[in-house]
Chains A and B, each alone.
Chain A
């Protein structure tokens, strides 16, 4: 009978019957099929019996077992490995020879659970300490990375012919040109929605026209640069981390290093230059589209587009435009830098690249908001 036949013919169940033998030992009679699917029920029953009868000899009668595989053997080994006094051993009897050969390959005594100390549990204070240490190390790495990148960029400025411009233009296309549709969509909707949300209540006071100022100021100074940057952090920051991370996993970074080519100069500098070139342009683009979005709402509120633009022109100064655009280079360095850093930090393994991309987006956005806050504070102090 082949294994398949027996699997079909025999009912896939295991049974256990307990009896007292005439010589005073306890007998556990196993029958049927012992495999990983069928033993769950009898295993704990048998183990409970073995543990309960600590002072009696236990005979496991396996005469009626007609199939036993790795799962069944594991159960038998488990019963045999229980700690017992020498006068009351556990023995297996009547197991068919082919199954016995399998069982003989294991020494139950060596498979006893080690009585080692339970794993050390960290106290909450210690946990906090460790977490703080990780944060501290991360900050130190980021500072070191800023230094390394700055020196590489300085080198690039002094030796522009050593920069791989082909890679820079390619990245510009990826970061800039290909991001135009999504930046357009988001900033258009942003302008439209801000205008609509504020126009409805302001209309009660007949002040719809001032919505133009609100849209103009908030888009130019704040939302244009910030939303563009957040979009790019999700788009390009994650892409940088994934690209460089994959290169690291494939040992391509090692290959660069042993070719004497510094990965920071080679991969990071080109991406930062590309971001520096494109992010201000994208921001300007987002400003224009956002104001256009506001105009669409205004027109639907019966305010002529010329009146809307004139109102913006009166109150919104060119200085506000510069205040927004001045943030763009800082945001560009942040997005590209963090994306590249997280990529370089990628560990090995399949999930590592995903983790790096996630970390690039999360820390990118956090830093963006922090830096934006710093800008707001500086502008307040300088009365801009």
Chain B
């Protein structure tokens, strides 16, 4: 695949309350790839993700989404960028007072001029994609954790974004549900050419879905490895990176 960056993170430094978590982080995500952000718990993965979707303001640096900087964009320009992305949060973050269908419909109601029937049909097709069309009328609280996450993916896809960000899609799920999610990700990437940015530390899932990974480390305040996960597992110079990919117990990292 020729390199065609859709996200470019430039010199990003982030932190809160005076503590710097990452310093001068640079990387790109190519169009159509499944890109995974890895790292130990508390390593700043979710923080990096929230900077990439414009929720947090970085200390320095810029994040270009399809050519536009989300850090400095305001007003209409910002909405234009946000329409290109969809986000699935760790908890699903479905709106608890709405049914699944209403959750998916919300963005359509706000941004399109479609009539009611059309919006219903569109929302149903999105639920269909994640296998939940039979639960369209259910409230989020009536569903299992895995279903909520799938519904959250359907909601994130409501406006057919170019990029989907998934925060820990398999956390807290059994292996079968989590494998189903992996399969869903691959299917969506193949059929709709969506670019995925996924935060996770499920090794099995990484080997299945990831085209490329970056690995964050809090002590080094940045990226310590980048590339194909299987290659990193076998050839990385960093003992800690190799340990991570082989799932070995911690020897204090150098």
Contacts and interface: CB of A to CB of B under 8 A. Distances in A.
Interface of A: 246-247, 250-252, 254-255, 257-261
A252 B85 contact: no
Contacts of B94: 252, 255
A274 B96 CA distance: 20
B93 A252 contact: yes
Interface in B52-66: 53-55
A255 B155 CA distance: 10
Given A258-B53, A261-B110, A251 B83 contact: no
Interface of B: 50, 53-55, 78-79, 82-83, 85, 87, 89-91, 93-96, 106-107, 110-111, 155
A251 B93 contact: yes
Nearest to B79: A260
Contacts of B91: 250-251
Contacts of A260: 78-79, 82-83, 110-111
Given A259-B82, A260-B83, A254 B107 contact: no
Given A255-B87, A258-B54, A260-B82, A250 B93 contact: yes
A257 B94 CA distance: 13
A105 B54 CA distance: 46
Nearest to B54: A258
A257 B53 CA distance: 10
A246 B95 CA distance: 11
Contacts of B53: 258
Contacts, number: 45
- Chain A binding surface SS class: helix
A251 B92 CA distance: 8
Given A251-B89, A251-B90, A258 B82 contact: yes
30 contacts: A247-B95, A250-B93, A250-B96, A251-B90, A251-B91, A251-B93, A252-B93, A252-B94, A252-B96, A254-B50, A254-B89, A254-B93, A255-B89, A255-B93, A255-B95, A255-B155, A258-B53, A258-B54, A258-B55, A258-B82, A259-B106, A259-B107, A259-B110, A260-B78, A260-B79, A260-B82, A260-B83, A260-B110, A261-B106, A261-B110
Contacts of B89: 251, 254-255
Contacts of A246: 96
Contact of B85 (A255, A258, A261): A258
Contacts of A250: 91, 93, 96
Contacts of B95: 247, 252, 255
Most chain B beta carbons < 10 A, residue from A252, A254, A255, A261 = A255
A251 B87 CA distance: 11
Contacts of B107: 259, 261
Most chain B beta carbons < 10 A, residue from A246, A247, A252 = A252
B2 to A, nearest CB: 29
Contacts of A251: 89-91, 93
Contact of A258 (B87, B90, B96, B110): B87
A260 B83 CA distance: 7
A251 to B, nearest CB: 4
B161 to A, nearest CB: 10
